[in-house]
Amino acid sequence: MNRLKALLIKEFIQMRRDRLTFVMMIVFPILQLLVFGFAINTDVKHLPTIVFDQALSQDSRDFQASLAASGYFDFIYTGNNYQQVTDNLQSGRAKVGIIIPPDFSENIKHGHSSTVQVIVDASDSMTASSAISAAQMVGQLKSQEVLLNRLRGYSGKSFDMPYDVRIRPWYNPDFVSAFYMVPGILGIILTMTMVMITSMAIVREQEHGTLEQLIVTPLKTHELILGKIIPYVFVGYAQATVALLVGILVFDLPIKGSLGLLYGLTSLFIIASLSLGVLISTLSKTQMQAMQMSFFIFLPSILLSGFMFPREAMPLVFNWLGNLLPLTFYLQILRGIILKGVGLSVLWTQVLALIVFISVVLTISIIKFQKKIA
Amino acid sequence: MYAVEVTNLSRRFGEFTAVDNISLKVKTGSIYGFLGPNGSGKSTTIRMLCGLLTPTAGSGTILGLDIAKNTEAIKHKIGYMSQKFSLYDDLTVIENLNFYAGMYSLPRVNGKQRIQEMLALAGLENRQHQLAANLSGGFKQRLALGCAILHNPPILFLDEPTGGVDPKSRRMFWDIIYNLSQQGTTIMVTTHFMDEAEHCDEIGFIYNGKLIATGPPSQLKTALPGTLLEIPNSKPMELLTTIQTKQLPHLDLYPFGAMLHVLVTPDNIQAYTALRAKIIAPSLEDVFVYLVKTHREEDLA
Ligand SMILES: Nc1ncnc2c1ncn2[C@@H]1O[C@H](COP(=O)(O)OP(=O)(O)O)[C@@H](O)[C@H]1O
Ligand SMILES: [Mg+2]
């Protein structure tokens, strides 16, 4: 107990002396959140669009208005021939070209189908798929409108659509990416700083020779590891708090569930990441190696945890690999509590997974640590 | 009584044998000097005794405790100062001492008093709040020693404690070592300074991982077979070649600072009178040179 206390006092003094690192650890999450939250907007809207309207009729203008109303297309260029459409797309000034045929209104009036060409710059697949689905949606809605009007005209009765499928995006109804991103970034920041900080802190003592001096004292391995974990739990909480504050104040992130539960479960993730850092320190000889190995954890955490890509769509192997990363479970906890407002009754598997992870990694670390000494 | 007893201790790193079948005994309360050139295996031996490395073969006891099995018990009884005396640079003098007081669970009152004693011993009373990083080499060394003996260990291991320290600090340090020894602490110290070795009660010469001679300095010096002559000369290397070409009889011949040392059998002393040679008492360095030479020859044979 005495030993652990002395170790903690020492760690806190060192942390206080190294103000720069501490400030970095607090400023870093703020910057990351602002950059990711604003820059990565996974909903693509307001695509610069060039239209070549050969019909110039009431119907064609009406159709354009519907497209514009979807919010996906900004009609900022008007073309007078095919060449202008091509030029604008090639130069990148426009991302979408819409070509309305001269017989657009005639065809509609006579009950024929009228072909509208939507040319999309698919070099950015995210842009392309948004534009395509938006255009298809508008096309279908307009068609239905025409058909319903026509039916009503024939029969004099009004009709309802036989199938009325309405998609309601729950939990994040406006598809605001920031809502989805903020919890993710919080998890990513914690992973990165926690893993790197502990692994480097331990390896630094090894490089300076102070670790050897510690080992000849009666200090126990588990006390040493606890002494390296506990101080950084505070840092982790400081980061989490800052990240949540930015989410709430800047991005209006609503926290649907219990903030207390969120904070409680965050400790599990922080400890899991710190344990991973300890394990890395037992595998590396230099701070450089520790840093590289931390990145080795960091990259799969970004790619496989569900932060960037939905895990449901991953090949089985990667899905399975993702289950080895604490971030995978923490993201589910974060999004569950923040966006869905769910509680422990839903999240207990994730909690269990984190607890198992911590126990396994810490046990391996303690064993490896003792081997390393001898 | 022996505080340290080691039998057939070896340590390999892969194919390389850093410590090769060493056996030694250190009398309780004595100063044992572990002497040898760089890379000869001094640190490796010390680290095995302190429980920082497990021996590949052989065994040893410290105060009767087995170095392989009772590492935890041993930790309470030893003080260790590693080769690069490692303090926390970003902690102050007093914070470093407080930290180690905590590591050894010194009781509060007792601990405070011990820390004051260590400050006095290191001459650091007026620098308590200075960062360890800003201390000079001599102060750092004495602070590291203070941290290592806070808990009053009966045995102290010092690994090249005087490396990179000015001569005045070296003397101060050795004064402290003597004091500790007089108070009953057993001290095992590695060095490659021969003059320091002269102060030890007993010496072990280690070369290429092998312990090639042990004994008190006075006894080791009688190990030289023959008489040692010293020839002052401004160009010892030239004189050396001259003697070799003239085939003057000698057992050994080597430059020694601005001198030439020649080891001869007593009946051959006259051959060197013309060179103004004078008979001198051998230093430990002479003994070491001789031991290394004969050891090399044995190895080759
Ligand atoms: N951990 C290690 N791994 C591999 N070789 C080592 C290790 N520690 C020491 N050695 C080697 O063992 C030999 C003896 O080293 P050491 O005991 O430090 O010598 P000394 O302290 O006498 O200078 C050296 O050649 C050194 O390179
Ligand atoms: Mg050494």
> What's the CATH code of the domain at B233?
3.30.70
Q: Using a 6 Å cutoff on CB, does residue B204 contact ligand 1?
A: no
Nearest residue on chain A to B87, judged by CA atoms? A210
Q: Are residues B24 and B127 in the same domain?
A: yes
CA A327 to chain centre: 12
Which ligand 1 atom minimizes the distance to the CA of B45? Answer: 17
Reported as a single tens digit per residue, the pLDDT across A330-349 is 999 998 998 888 889 989 99
User: Which residue stretches of chain B have pLDDT < 50?
Assistant: none
Centroid of ligand 2 to alpha carbon of B298 (angstroms): 25
Q: Which of B50, B75, B105 sits opposite A2 (nearest CB)?
A: B105
Predicted local distance difference test score (pLDDT) of residue B146? 95
Inter-chain residue contact B90 with A17, CB threshold 8 Å: yes
Pocket test for ligand 1, best of B9, B13, B42, B210 (most atoms within 8 A of CB): B13
What's the rounded Cα separation, in Å, for the pair A221 and B72? 11
Position B299 in a domain: no
Cα→Cα distances A324→A19, A137, A205, A283, A305, Å? 34, 40, 29, 18, 9
Are B78 and B113 members of one domain? yes
Planar angle of CA A30, A32, A38, nearest 5 degrees: 100
Q: Which ligand is nearest to the CA of B47?
A: 1
Question: What's the ipTM?
Answer: 0.87
- Could you give the residue range(s) of every CATH 3.40.1710.10 domain in chain A? 47-155
- Domain boundaries A47-155, corresponding CATH code: 3.40.1710.10
Indicate the residue of A10, A209, A215 with minimum beta-carbon distance to B91.
A10
pLDDT of residue A12: 93
- Please identify, among B178, B193, B216, the residue that sits at the C-terminal boundary of a domain: B216
> Do B6 and B74 belong to one domain?
yes
- B201 and B91 in one domain? yes
Is residue B45 within 8 Å of B19, Cβ to Cβ?
yes
Mean pLDDT, chain A, rounded, equals 85
Which residues lie across from A167 on neighbouring strands? none
* Ligand 1 atom 25: residue of nearest CA: B39
| Residue-level pLDDT at B33 | 95
Report the percentage of chain A scoring pLDDT > 90. Answer: 35
* Spacing, Cα B210 to ligand 2 middle (Å): 15
Work out whether the CA dihedral A369, A371, A373, B3 comes out positive or negative.
positive
pLDDT tens-digit readout, B43-92: 999 999 999 999 999 999 999 999 989 999 999 999 999 988 789 999 99
Instruction: Among B11, B15, B35, B43, say which to mutate for ligand 1: greatest number of ligand atoms within 8 Å of CB.
Output: B43
Do the domain assignments include residue B161?
yes
pTM of the predicted protein model: 0.80
Nearest CB to B103: which of A6, A13, A208? A6
Distance CA B181, CA B187 (A): 7
CA distance A300 to A305: 7
**Alpha carbon distances (Å) from A357 to A270, A290, A322:** 12, 20, 13
Q: What is the pLDDT of residues A200-232, one digit of tens each?
A: 999 999 999 899 999 999 999 999 999 999 999
Residues in A closer than 8 angstroms to B100, CB to CB, are 217
- Does the residue B301 lie in any domain? no
Residue B52 and residue A18: Cβ atoms within 8 Å?
no
Residue B7 lies in a domain: yes
In total, how many domains does chain B have? Answer: 2
* Helix segments in B164-283, DSSP class H: 167-182, 194-197, 217-221, 236-246
Chain B hits for A10, CB-CB cut-off 8 Å, are 88, 91, 95, 99
| CA atoms lying within 13 Å on the CB side of residue A292 | 7
Residue B120's Cβ-count burial label (10 Å; 0-12, 13-18, 19+) is exposed
Same domain, B241 and B150: no
User: A284-313: per-residue pLDDT in tens?
Assistant: 999 999 999 998 888 899 889 888 777 888
Q: What is the mean pLDDT of each run of 10 residues along chain A (374 residues)?
A: 92 90 83 76 73 88 84 85 88 87 85 84 72 78 78 72 57 58 86 90 91 92 92 92 89 88 95 95 92 90 85 86 94 90 91 97 90 61
Question: B89 — contact with chain A (CB < 8 Å)?
Answer: yes
Q: How far apart are CA B268 and CA B266, in angstroms?
A: 5
- CATH code for position B32: 3.40.50.300
Q: In this structure, what are the phi and psi dihedrals at residue B50, rounded to the nearest 5 degrees?
A: -85, 0
Contact B81, B228 (CB under 8 A): no
B297 in a structural domain: no
Which atom of ligand 1 is the closest one to the Cα of B40?
Answer: 22
Say if residue B229 is in the same domain as residue B87.
no
Residues B79 and B156 in one domain: yes
Token pair belonging to A269? 């993730």
CA within 13 Å, CB half, B36? 25
Residue B69 structural domain: 2-216
Question: Who contacts A198 (Cβ-Cβ below 8 Å, separation ≥6)?
Answer: A228, A229, A232, A274, A277, A278, A281
Tell me the C-alpha distance between B182 and B201, whole Å: 12
B194 lies in the same domain as B83? yes
What is the CA(B83)–ligand 2 centre distance, in A? 6
B298: contact with A, CB 8 A cutoff: no
pLDDT at B185: 96
Q: Same structural domain for residues B36 and B78? A: yes
The reply to whether B179 falls in a domain is: yes
- Nearest residue by C-alpha to atom 8 in ligand 1: B44
pLDDT digits 0-9 by tens, B179-200: 999 999 999 999 888 888 888 9
| Closest alpha carbon within chain A to B50 | A216
Residue B296 lies in a domain: no
**One domain, residues B160 and B248:** no
**Nearest atom within ligand 1 for CA of residue B13:** 4
What was the pLDDT predicted at A312? 80
The residue of chain B nearest to residue A15, with distances taken between CA atoms, is B90
Query: Considering only alpha carbons, which residue of chain B is nearest residue A3?
Result: B103
Q: Where are the beta strands (DSSP E) in B120-201?
A: 155-159, 186-191
Buried b (16+ CB within 10 A) or exposed e, B26-36: beebbbbbbbb
| Ligand 2 midpoint to CA A306 (Å) | 51
Domain co-membership, B212 together with B81: yes
Which atom of ligand 1 is found nearest the CA of B47?
17
What confidence score (pLDDT) does residue B116 get? 95
Q: Whose CA is nearest to atom 9 of ligand 1?
A: B44
Q: What is the pLDDT of residue A42?
A: 54
At A172 the pLDDT is: 47
B103 to chain A, any CB pair closer than 8 A? The answer is yes
B115 chain-A contacts, CB cut-off 8 A: none
Indicate whether B194 and B262 sit together in one domain. no
Q: Which atom of ligand 1 is nearest to the CA of B14?
A: 4
